[in-house]
A and B are shown apart, each in its own frame.
Chain A
Amino acid sequence: MAGLALANIRARGARNLGLAALVAIFSALLFGGSVIDARLSQGLESLSARLGADVLIVPYGYERTAKAALLRGEPSTYHMPAEVLGRVRSFPGVAQASPQFFLASLATACCSERVQIIAYDQQSDFLVRPWISAKAPPTLGEGQIVAGSKLNVEVGGELFFFGVVHEVVAKMEPTGMGLDTSVFLPLESVYRLVGNIPALKEELPDPSGYISAVAVKVEPGLRPKDVANGIMREHAIEFNLDLVLPDAIVTETARELAGWASTVRRLALAMWLVAFLALALVFSVAIGERRREFGIYRLIGATRSWLGRLILAEALFLSLAGGLAGILLASLAIFPFDALIFNSLGLPNLPAGPGAVARAAAVALALAMVIAPLACLRTVLSVTRSEVQPSLRMEA
């Protein structure tokens, strides 16, 4: 029966191609929209956890730079007096505050590009540590570093920068952000490194008097924005400060993309209806066209239910082919580029897990698979009732 169904589909090749294409457009839209959605929510879900900080206090004028470093790992170096830390820490509403020192490395052995070096304070840190695997030593010693997940170096390997060979003692888990291409080490280590960099040594004769950013966690129940504004009112002018609200960076773009994804889904729904109606129309026309053919099957011994199953099988093949093609085409359109798109939009860039992709594919395929069978239901019912009688009259 399968072979016969396929032969019949092939016999009406152009028309069936068109019908399958409608199904394909539906499944491509639904699958594509769902995958992007999954990727988005995956990124957003992990975002607050991964970012950890509610507010990032940075030197005035470096807000954009800090965002770029955070999201895309664009290397940068900037500083403010270390005094800021104490002020922020003691500000009402601040639960935790931890200093960081950023340094852009020169090209290193591991990477074709420069990497961002992020030095953190091992005592007060709450940003970096959660993303280092438990197997890593609790504190990093001199010359020990943690590598971002996307850096091409393994635990036990070495990275050479600023005249010192560093041992990689742990790798970060993927964050989907700039942290993935950064290198992490203790503040003390970076202060010693600065001595090896002639240009910086001149600028910062006492490096430990400087930091690049203060990561702040506000007390529960308080809005990060309010606390940040308070800090700014008090200290911004004196220390020339600026702030980054990490959540806000992403949510805006994310909201846009979410809106876009739901539009795609609505389109998919509309396409489902279009495909259904087109198929229903064609099937109901076909029953007239194929009356003679159906009569021949019946004449040589097909039961009515066999005929119904044949039509159903043809419909299923159409739906299946269209559904699979749509998913395949959407995959070809999305997977090579989505990382790029998410990156350039500054969105947390974690691939949607295979589970989410599989689920999206399964849902799209399942809904595609029912289009044609539902559309042919009337036709099936009419042949399984008595409408198609075998006949010796084949003159037509």
Chain B
Amino acid sequence: MVLLEAKGLVKGFRRGLAGFRAVDGVSLSVGQGEFVSLTGRSGSGKTTLLSLLAGLLGPDGGDVLLRGRSIFALGDAGLARLRNREIGFLPQGRSLLGNLTVLDNVRLPFHLARRQGGSRQRALELLGDLSLAHLAGNRPHELSGGELRRVALARALMNSPELVVADEPTGDLDLGTAASLIRLIRDINSRGVAFLVATHDLDLCRGLGRVLEMSGGRLVDGASAGRS
């Protein structure tokens, strides 16, 4: 079943006086539990596309449907709820809150959801799964790059989203650390969480699932139709 679907997405930016399309008519779909890699050179439009898919940017054309419903019809509260519960995000770079401990960073999405019950147990379990339990009380600045990325992953999973969107999760990691992070992601994927991962480390994702390639804001190889 299709979880997320993009239809003819267009997003333009200004560069100097001229405008250009960072995303230029992209259609794709991600099925439940699927693993989709998005590759392409730097500047090919990957981050912009992910941002559109997650409702972080408004498109100039086209639409994004989550389970068949347009996400751009949602108001701020609706989009916030979507980001909080339906889609987990792993942004590029460092994205933890420096004022909070690792544990509290992971718990925050739960509290934003105003859910009943305790979040501590679940957060600790997640941290345990990602071999981070011993760092629960630490501050982000005390962690290594790979550890930070795993905490961000735990945070993205906190409210059990069906889809995780990750932007170059291994970009700033050494090869060994990157490989183990990908193993973790595959592990989580095998438990039914769909992944959409932008990366230029194609080797890491080979054999994991479908691979889409971007170039100049478009999907190449006719892959843009995706799998329905």
Q: Are A301 and B97 in contact (CB under 8 A)?
A: no
**Residues of chain A with a CB closer than 8 A to B165's CB:** 392
Given A390-B83, A391-B51: A296 and B113 interface contact (C-beta under 8 Å): no
Provide 14 A-B residue pairs closer than 8 Å at the C-beta atoms, listed in order of the A residue: A7-B100, A8-B99, A11-B99, A297-B108, A299-B83, A299-B89, A300-B108, A301-B85, A301-B112, A391-B91, A392-B92, A392-B165, A394-B91, A394-B93
- Cβ-closest 3 pairs across A and B: A301-B84, A11-B99, A394-B93
Proximity bits, B41-55, A CB within 8 Å = 1, else 0: 000000100110010
Residue of B nearest to A300 (CB): B109
Interface residues of B (CB under 8 A from A): 47, 50-51, 54, 56, 76-77, 80-81, 83-85, 89, 91-100, 104, 108-109, 111-113, 155-156, 159, 165, 167
Q: Are B98 and A11 in contact (CB under 8 A)?
A: yes
Residue of B nearest to A3 (CB): B104
Known: A301-B81, A392-B47, A393-B91. 19 other contacts (CB 8 A): A1-B111, A4-B100, A7-B104, A11-B98, A297-B112, A298-B80, A299-B56, A300-B84, A300-B108, A301-B84, A301-B159, A306-B112, A391-B51, A392-B51, A392-B56, A392-B89, A393-B92, A395-B92, A395-B93
Question: What total of A-B pairs shows CB separation below 8 Å?
Answer: 85
**Residues of chain B with a CB closer than 8 A to A8's CB:** 99
Q: Are A392 and B91 in contact (CB under 8 A)?
A: yes
Residue of A nearest to B51 (CB): A392
Q: What total of chain A residues lie within 8 Å of the partner, measured CB to CB?
A: 27
Which of B54, B99, B112 contacts A7, CB < 8 Å? B99
Q: How far is the CA of A283 from the CA of B144 in the complex (A)?
A: 31
CB proximity of A1 to chain B, nearest CB, Å: 8
**Residues of chain B with a CB closer than 8 A to A394's CB:** 91-95
**Residues of chain A with a CB closer than 8 A to B89's CB:** 299-300, 392
A293 at the interface (CB under 8 A from B): yes
Given A391-B56, A391-B91: A303 and B99 interface contact (C-beta under 8 Å): no
A304 at the interface (CB under 8 A from B): yes
Q: Are A4 and B98 in contact (CB under 8 A)?
A: no
Q: Are A301 and B109 in contact (CB under 8 A)?
A: yes
Which of A4, A11, A396 contacts B108, CB < 8 Å? A4
Q: How far is the CA of A396 from the CA of B95 in the complex (A)?
A: 10
Proximity bits, A377-389, B CB within 8 Å = 1, else 0: 0000000000001
Q: How far is the CA of A391 from the CA of B89 in the complex (A)?
A: 10
Q: How far is the CA of A297 from the CA of B156 in the complex (A)?
A: 12
Q: How far is the CA of A7 from the CA of B98 in the complex (A)?
A: 10
A49 at the interface (CB under 8 A from B): no
CB proximity of B97 to chain A, nearest CB, Å: 6
Q: How far is the CA of A328 from the CA of B177 in the complex (A)?
A: 54
**Residues of chain A with a CB closer than 8 A to B54's CB:** 392
A248 at the interface (CB under 8 A from B): no
Q: Are B50 and A392 in contact (CB under 8 A)?
A: yes
Q: How far is the CA of A394 from the CA of B172 in the complex (A)?
A: 13
CB proximity of A308 to chain B, nearest CB, Å: 11
CB proximity of A294 to chain B, nearest CB, Å: 10
Q: How far is the CA of A125 from the CA of B155 in the complex (A)?
A: 84
Q: Are B100 and A389 in contact (CB under 8 A)?
A: no
Q: How far is the CA of A393 from the CA of B54 in the complex (A)?
A: 13
**Residues of chain B with a CB closer than 8 A to A392's CB:** 47, 50-51, 54, 56, 89, 91-92, 165, 167
**Residues of chain B with a CB closer than 8 A to A301's CB:** 80-81, 83-85, 109, 112-113, 159
Q: Are A303 and B80 in contact (CB under 8 A)?
A: yes
**Residues of chain B with a CB closer than 8 A to A393's CB:** 47, 91-93
Q: Which of A300, A306, A391, A395 has the most CB of B within 10 A?
A: A300
Proximity bits, A158-199, B CB within 8 Å = 1, else 0: 000000000000000000000000000000000000000000
Q: How far is the CA of A302 from the CA of B111 in the complex (A)?
A: 10
